[in-house]
Structure 1
Amino acid sequence: MKCFLTLILAFSSAVLFAQPVVMSRIKADSLGLPKKQLSDYATRTGVMLETPFSVQARMKSAVQSALSLDRMTDLNLWCSIYLNAEGRVDYVLYEFMPVAGEGSMKPAPGADSLGRVLEAKLPAFLNEVISSRNAGSKSIYRTFSDVQAFPSGVKKDSTVFGLASALAAQDTLKVSKLHLSRSLLTEVPDVIYRFPNLQMLMLDDNDLKSASINMKRLPKLRHIDLSRNVLDSKEIRISKNTSLKWLNLQKNGMHDIPAAVQRCKSLQTLWLGYNPADHLSNKSFRKLKKLRDLNLYRADITVLPKGIKKLRNLEVLDLYYNKLESLPASIVNLKKLTHLAISHNQLKELPERIDKLASVHTLYAHHNRLSKLPPSIVNMQNLKILDLGFNWFTTFPSELTSFVRLSELDLSSNNFPEFPEQLLKIQNLGKLYLRGNPFLQKDSEDKYSRQLGQLKSRHIEVFY
């Protein structure tokens, strides 16, 4: 009881004096760590967020300072870091593990004494562990004491790794790739302009809150990675150009497609996944005439603007894990689309004139609320892969029997009460997925031996 009261007092003191609490996970579990304090830090997805490199590096530095060690040679240290809405540390729950690995059941020798030192000294160094990646909401990160940065140096294929190597490089005309990933950058360094023949620039996993790139000084730059930073749509400035082909802006804080993107006249690939892109409008898609690949994976989209139709050369559209209840009718104007991924949404129906997407050969629509297909879908004769798993079908959609090029069909986890006989009419199938339907019971192989036999005799691989 005394220990428990001590624990409560420690947490209360942390709130009053903003002093981070550092405690072993074993101790916290054994004393019944007040779950209310920690439950507020749960993420919207229910899982821990991907830890920014800046947090990993700063945490490692704090641990080394607290323990007065240059490196952890005999032990590994895992920490769960609970950050408040300001991005500062409230709690650290740590685990010492033997070098054999986290899964080892052997006690880590020396862990108790190191733990006492860590609990006493680490709080003083945690002021440097700050993350603006999820500012405005509490978050949880998982760190390892031995995080390694990218290698430094110049490789034979004219690739430079690291800021120091970029500054020291001699023959800058030969350099075509510059990796400044995980370099703890807060702004784009001018050193990038030392390499006029640069074709690829990697700036991912830094702490960039703004990014300005003068493309006139990098006329051959085709590929930029700005993912895993803290960028807002308005804080990206890329000068007008016709060279940039590929731009990765995933895992930032963008609510819309940046205006800077529209100045990239030849852009073909744009990845915006894992951004809170909830302010998309018809204007968002202007001037992206050559875009072929648009990734909006897990972007909190509730409504896809009809302006999507402006992307006339789009071939791949990824809308996985959003909150869409419908698709705009204008989407069928994307005549060059070949891959359409709309899985993990809340769609109850597909566009009535989906047949206008005549070039689509791969359609992923699993994990929605579909219970029927539009009649016009029978004209999509280029379909080769169709995934309708985890939907609300109770009767077999007869439209599927019209496809002659369909090689892979997934109907898993729907609500078919009996084996859908019309399946046998589909020609040229190579793979068929039926798992998770009500008609599949322990006696399925005997009960449906005729149907399964026919499918297997046609060399169709059946998963049930």
Structure 2
Amino acid sequence: MLKGLLFVYLMLTGLVGYAQSPVVFLRDTTRLGVSLASLERSFPPPYDKLIVQAGKSSQLKGAFSGRTKLYFDSLNAQHQQFFTFIERNKKRLPALGLLFQTQEFIRADGSYEWVFCQVDGQSLTSEQESKLLALLTEWYTQHPFPIKTENGFRRSTMTTLGQPPQKRTVRRGPGIISTVEAAEKTLRPDTVTMLAFNHLELSSVPEVVYRFPKLEELDLSRNNLHELPARLTADIPTLKRLSVLFNVIPNDSVFITRNKHIRSLNIQGNKLTKIPESIRQNRRLESLWLGYNKLTTITDADVKTLRRMRKLSDLNLYSVGLSQLPTSIGRLKRVKVLDLYYNKFIELPPQIGKMKRLEQLAVAHNELRNLPVTLTKLRHLQVLYAHHNHLSQLPDEFSRLHSLRILDLSYNWYVSVPAVIGTLSSLQELSFNNNNLHEFPSMLLSLKGLKKVFLGSNPLFGQEAMKSPYAPQIKQLEANNTDVSY
């Protein structure tokens, strides 16, 4: 067995007479006679980069100079394919949750000359390393980069391979019981305010939950429940917070009786394909989390259901497969927090500007090309997360957002920071890292309340920000008590 694994490893690393695999561990570069410095001179970065040497700056032209949109589009599509491949082959991984780094050198035709990899924070046996190399070799040989370039290019990546099994989080404290057995044995049910029955492999709601006259919170997350029974809302009149996160409850098994006591309902990660109508029975619900379901669409009827809950202020639609919102979304005028992370939006409806009480909007990890001008009508908006999109500009009308404190536009397509940023007088935290900035955003110097700014992984600095021509501006920001990350 060991001889066989050794043969596989030798074959993959090119020590026998087979074709050299492009995927090797970074530590093997010396043994293979490969110079990283020489490769970096032969393979340009993907986009333009500022180089500072001996006090002089110069611009290194990237392989996708003037085509950064095309590059990032292709990169995002390939990332999705890679994660799908890893998920499909996760049983072949030597371990789950590996922190994995690569340095890729990609030829003009998209094939890989070399991929140097290393695993951080975890030691692998020779057998596990062989399995990992075999899996990665399969991916890289079958999935060349989808765009051809003139001279090829290089890039570095870091990702986590597979999700490790989650350990149970045990809640402790006064009034909390964390096991069914303890709930059955307690002699003082009147002192219990929370039952934390998460991660217990339950297939049904235990009968014991109904014996606690002062129960306020019930956590049934990460079990195997197929039903949300009506008794939970009918027979526990003190219950305020209910979580059935990550179970297997379908549309037709959400049973809720009319009540005025439930304030928070977390039904994320189930088998829902639409918003259950019975949710409207929670007449005073304030927080509703529906993420990680496969809703794919939100209809006017769904919005009408949500409007029935007149106290609803926190709505989570995280990763539910949405590509658009209905124009009626503007009728949710009491919502203060709207989470639309990890969907498929290319645009947002202008009616979102009618959500007058909105204080926090999260639209990160979508495919947005623009943010609607109507967002500037949200005079109470304090937090806007729009990172990991395809944004390259901001409306000048953003100057009206006098309450905006946090703005995250990292991982977008900006080549310069929009001038309107300098008018956001309440701004405390700004993120523009991982864009394509080529000039320092000097307008930040006028934002006296700015506490944090993130500018890392942009071409304007090159390798060393404090050796770049922009070091004086960085020092001036820091003198204004702004923490600058570069």
**Separation in 1, partners of 2:176, 2:183:** 10
Alignment of 1:141-152 (within 5 A): none
Partner of 2:188: 171
Q: Which residue of 1 aligns with 2:419?
A: 398
Query: Matched residues in 1 for 2:173 and 2:454: separation?
Result: 47
Shift of 1:457: 3.0
Match of 1:264 among 254, 261, 282: 282
For residues 273 and 94 of structure 1, what CA distance do their matches in structure 2 show?
A: 27
> Who is 1:315 aligned against?
336
Consecutive unaligned residues in structure 1, runs of 5 or more? 5-25, 33-41, 50-79, 83-90, 96-101, 108-139
Q: Does 1:456 align with 2:478?
A: yes
Is the Cα contact below 8 Å between 2:201 and 2:223 reproduced in 1?
A: yes
Contact 2:204/2:226, CA 8 A, preserved across alignment: yes
What's the secondary structure of 2:177's corresponding residue? strand
Asked if the contact 1:343–1:368 (Cα under 8 Å) also holds between the matched residues in 2, the reply is yes
Out of 180, 183, 205, the position equivalent to 2:197 is: 180
Give the stretch that moved more between structures: 229-238 or 177-186.
177-186
Query: Relative to structure 1, is the Cα distance of residues 442 and 196 closer, same or farther in structure 2, using a 3 angstrom cutoff?
Result: closer
Whether the 8 Å CA contact 1:231–1:253 is kept in 2: the answer is yes
Aligned equivalents of 1:231, 1:398: Cα separation in 2: 48
1:17 aligns with none
What's the TM-score, normalizing by structure 2? 0.65
Q: Which amino acid aligns with 1:321?
A: Y
Contact 1:209/1:232 (<8 A) preserved: yes
The CA deviation at 1:385 is 1.1
> Would the aligned equivalents of 2:271 and 2:294 in 1 still touch at CA under 8 Å?
yes
The equivalent residue for 1:213 is 230
Amino acid in structure 1 at the alignment position of 2:244: L
CA contact (8 A) 1:288 1:311 kept: no
| Aligned residues of 1:367 and 1:391 also touching (Cα < 8 A) | yes
8 Å Cα contact 1:328/1:351 also seen in 2:
yes
What's the TM-score once normalised by structure 1's chain length?
0.67
The C-alpha deviation readout for 1:362-409, integer Å capped at 9, x for no partner, is 111111111111222110011111111121122331111111111111
Is the Cα–Cα contact under 8 Å of residues 289 and 312 in structure 1 kept in the other structure? Answer: no
Q: Does 1:409 align with 2:430?
A: yes
Checking the alignment, whether the CA contact within 8 Å between 1:408 and 1:431 is kept in structure 2 is yes
Cα distance 1:265–1:434, how it changes in 2: closer, same or farther (>3 A)? same
Could you tell me which residue of structure 2 aligns to residue 160 of structure 1?
Answer: 177
The equivalences for 1:363-382 within 5 A come to 363-382=384-403
2:212 to 174, 188, 195: 195
Q: Which residue of 1 aligns with 2:346?
A: 325
Question: Would the aligned equivalents of 1:48 and 1:142 in 2 still touch at CA under 8 Å?
Answer: no
Where relative contact order (Cα < 8 A, 6+ residues apart) is larger, the structure is 2
**1:186/1:354 CA distance change after superposition, 3 Å:** same
Corresponding residue number in structure 1 for 2:248: 230
Pair 1:172–1:427, CA change in 2 (3 A): closer
Residue number among 447, 450, 457 corresponding to 1:426 in the alignment: 447
Report the equivalent of 2:309. 288
Q: Which amino acid aligns with 1:171?
A: R
Distance 2:463 2:163 in 1: 44
Shift of 1:236: 0.9
Residues 298-333 of structure 1, C-alpha deviation per residue, up to 9 Å, x if partnerless?
222211223322322211111111111111112111
Is the Cα contact below 8 Å between 1:342 and 1:364 reproduced in 2? Answer: yes
Give the secondary structure class of the aligned counterpart of 2:242.
Answer: strand
Alignment of 1:104-123 (within 5 A): none
Given the alignment of the two structures, is residue 338 of structure 1 paired with residue 359 of structure 2, yes or no? yes
The residue identity in structure 1 corresponding to 2:251 is S
What's the offset of the Cα at 1:150? 5.6
Please tell me the residue identity of whatever aligns with 2:241.
H
Equivalent residue, structure 2, for 1:52: none
- Compared with structure 1, are the counterparts of its residues 396 and 170 closer, same or farther at alpha carbon in structure 2 (3 Å cutoff)? closer
Give how far 1:342 is off.
1.0
Evaluate the alpha carbon distance shift between residue 321 and residue 27 of structure 1 in structure 2; reply closer, same or farther with a 3 A threshold. farther
Assess if the C-alpha contact under 8 Å between 2:351 and 2:374 holds in 1. Answer: no
State the distance in 2 between where 1:149 and 1:411 align: 35
How many percent of aligned residue pairs carry the same amino acid?
32
